[in-house]
Amino acid sequence: MVRMPRVWLWLIAAATLLSFDLGGMALLDPDEGRYAATSREMRQSGDPIIPRFNGEPRLNKPPLIHWLQAVSFGALGVTEWAARFPSLAAAIATLALVAWWARSRPRPSAAGSAVAALAGCLLFFACARLAIIDMTLTLGLTAALLAWHESTRARTPRARRALAWAAALSCGLAVLAKGPVGFLLPAAVIGATAVLARDGRMIAWRGATTAAAGIGLVTGPWLFCLVSRTGVHDVIDLLVRETYDRTIRGLDHPRPFYYFLLTGWVTLLPWSLAAPWLLSRSWKEFRAGGDDAGFLIVWFTVVLVFFSLPADKNDAYILPAAVPLALIVARGMRPTLVAGIAAATALALVICVAFASGPLSTARSLKQLCVGAELAARPDLVVIGYKLHRPSLVFYSGRRVRWVSTGSELRRVISAAPREATIAVVMEERRHERLSPGLASTMSEFGIAGVGSGCVALVRDGSGPSP
């Protein structure tokens, strides 16, 4: 019997941990519900070029996550598990890349420690289990940077070219995941590494040409189809809004520049507690001639600085920093210590999943309400969201939602609907309790069909008040 390498045992254990009860929690608002609903609509429409949410184009992010989720829905069904499977698969692929790179170092035994450290990182564990884009971005960035670093050490021109192309194509994958950050971040890491190593050959023009060609091969077909359908001016406006405006003004999560200095200690647990000591030790190793140590320090630092500069900040943005941190941990700590800490962290995470999935589903998703009110089971139902920003309503109701923001608009929409139409109005319970007399009169024929997540579904079935 052939003995399985230890690193494969770690990969299997990590995959088991990350997939534990993956579909047990409802899709959370706002991001998971929006991404999943958009991907389901892409699959239903058969249009892979322009993602749409609730019938409207949604082009603020590239389509990679929607392509992957649409395929997953087709193969596994439209479920929470299928919506999160692309993130899980990207996480396992990232772990495999980390193991591959660590096994090629002077201390191959650190590969298992690197896998354990990365899988046991709180932020990595969470993002691997959420239907969001950050894990696919991290996969592309990890593949690009590790392949580039190996290309600088390749012994033959053929191997160097192959690795350079692998890095370039991986950058293209990262761009399809999250836009320009997919090449700007690797470029910053490569440039800073070259400056630190005082080696200009790391950023040769030939490498830049290969990078541009690889990114173009991956992203070019989609961009060409997008421009041909929407026009070049719309695409330029989109790029300006999603880069300049998000960087300077902040569109969704405006936070101070020091935000990650405060939150990174929590999201990168447990390894963040030892990060200052490990980084200091790695710096000493770099000063003694350790190129790998310098590369990992630069990678980790550049990610934190890169995402601290824009006004928009989200905890998941610094997920790519978890990869170099895990490799630094594997290089600087004893394998038995890493394994012990990772095992204890894994047990704590499993317990948290077992006990927290239910409360999170209730607090941050409208699944309970939609199921209780049978919104998806009513074929001719018109769903209206009143002063509500809950994308999971679109996913779990199985239809487009008419969003209204004022009481007068709600009265107008209800009055304009045919008398025989079945209508559901979803709003927060506190708003329902404080309806103005005019709006309360308009909704006198609506009955409560479901309650959940602090919201209520009121339904008029077209033949009188609902029971």
Same domain for 374 and 355? no
Residue 466 in any domain: the answer is no
Q: Which two tokens stand for residue 221?
A: 């077909």
Task: Give the 3-state secondary structure percentages of the chain, helix then strand then coil, rounded to 5.
Answer: 65, 5, 25
Please name the amino acid found at residue 170.
S
| 451 falls within a domain | yes
Residues 129 and 47 reside in one and the same domain: yes
Per-residue model confidence (pLDDT) at position 254: 81
Share of the chain above pLDDT 70, in %: 93
pLDDT at 66 over 70: yes
pLDDT of residue 249: 67
CA atoms of 313 and 318, how far apart (whole Å): 9
> Which pLDDT score, from 0 to 100, does residue 465 have?
44
Average pLDDT over residues 117-134: 97
Q: List pLDDT tens digits, range 252-277.
A: 678 889 999 999 999 999 999 999 99
pTM of the model: 0.93
CA atoms of 141 and 147, how far apart (whole Å): 10
Q: Six-digit token pair at 97? A: 């890349």
Domain end (from 360, 384, 400): 360
pLDDT tens, 173-201? 999 999 999 999 999 999 999 888 776 66
Secondary structure (DSSP) of 361-381 = HHHH-SHHHHHHTTTTT-TT-
pLDDT of residue 59: 87
Instruction: Tell me if 108 is assigned to some domain.
Output: yes
Separation in Å, CA 463 to CA 235, 375, 458, 467: 47, 17, 14, 11
Domain boundary among 360, 380, 408: 360
Same domain assignment for residues 55 and 92 = yes
Distance CA 116, CA 130 (A): 20
In a domain, 1, yes or no: no
Cα–Cα distance list, 409 to 386, 433, 460 (Å): 9, 19, 17
Spatial neighbors of 389 by CB under 8 A, at least 6 apart, are 29, 30
Query: Where residue 454 sits, what CATH number does that domain have?
Result: 3.30.110
Q: What is the extent of the structural domain holding 412?
A: 367-460
348 and 381 in a common domain: no
Q: Residue 215: pLDDT above 80? A: yes
Is the same domain home to 36 and 100? yes
Instruction: Look over the chain and give the mean of its residue pLDDT values, rounded to a whole number.
Output: 91
SS3 of 452, please? strand
How many domains does the chain divide into?
2
| Last residue in a domain, options 325, 345, 360 | 360
Give the per-residue pLDDT at 350. 95
Backbone dihedral angles phi then psi of residue 459, each to the nearest 5 degrees: -125, 135
| Count of residues in the chain | 467
Strands (E), 394-443: 401-404, 423-428
Residues 163 and 276 in one domain: yes
DSSP string spanning 132-179? SSHHHHHHHHHHHHHHHHHHTT-SSHHHHHHHHHHHHHHHHHHHHHHT
> In the structure, what pLDDT confidence band is assigned to residue 454 with cuts at 50, 70 and 90?
very high
Residue 347 lies in a domain: yes
Question: Residue 423 falls within a domain, yes or no?
Answer: yes
* Domain membership flag for residue 465: no
